[in-house]
Amino acid sequence: MSDFMHYMANLGPYEVTGVLGFLCYISAFGAVQLGCLDGNSTTYSLVNILAASLVAVSLLHDFNLASALIQGSWIVAGLTGLSLRAWKAWPSTRRVLNTTLEAEVQ
């Protein structure tokens, strides 16, 4: 068995979690590059938050400060983007909710 295959066969749960995070990062970036996903979309932000969270969990096993700072920054940036998107959408969301409530009351 090659060294690479041997290494992959012996990955622990933290390493597998980190690899899943890597796959989320690469999949989201690839989808943006291929035009399948908008880089300003909620989906892109959610996938990046998930990716950073998975990689951050993998750091519990083998901590690296630089990587932890990067993952934390990605999580904060993603949550900030989602919060801003929700804040901007709130007036129209509120109108829809009010209209729905008024229709149900009648």
State the pLDDT at residue 1.
Answer: 65
State the pLDDT at residue 74.
Answer: 97
**Smallest Cα–Cα separation from 78: which of 25, 15, 30?**
25
State the pLDDT at residue 5.
Answer: 87
Sign of the CA dihedral with 25 first, then 29, 34, and 37 last: positive
Amino acid at 53: S
Q: Which residues of the chain have pLDDT under 70?
A: 1, 106
Q: How far apart are the C-alpha atoms of 37 and 33, rounded to whole Å?
A: 8
User: How big is the chain, counted in residues?
Assistant: 106
State the pLDDT at residue 43.
Answer: 96
State the pLDDT at residue 67.
Answer: 97
State the pLDDT at residue 95.
Answer: 78
Q: How far apart are the C-alpha atoms of 95 and 85, rounded to whole Å?
A: 16
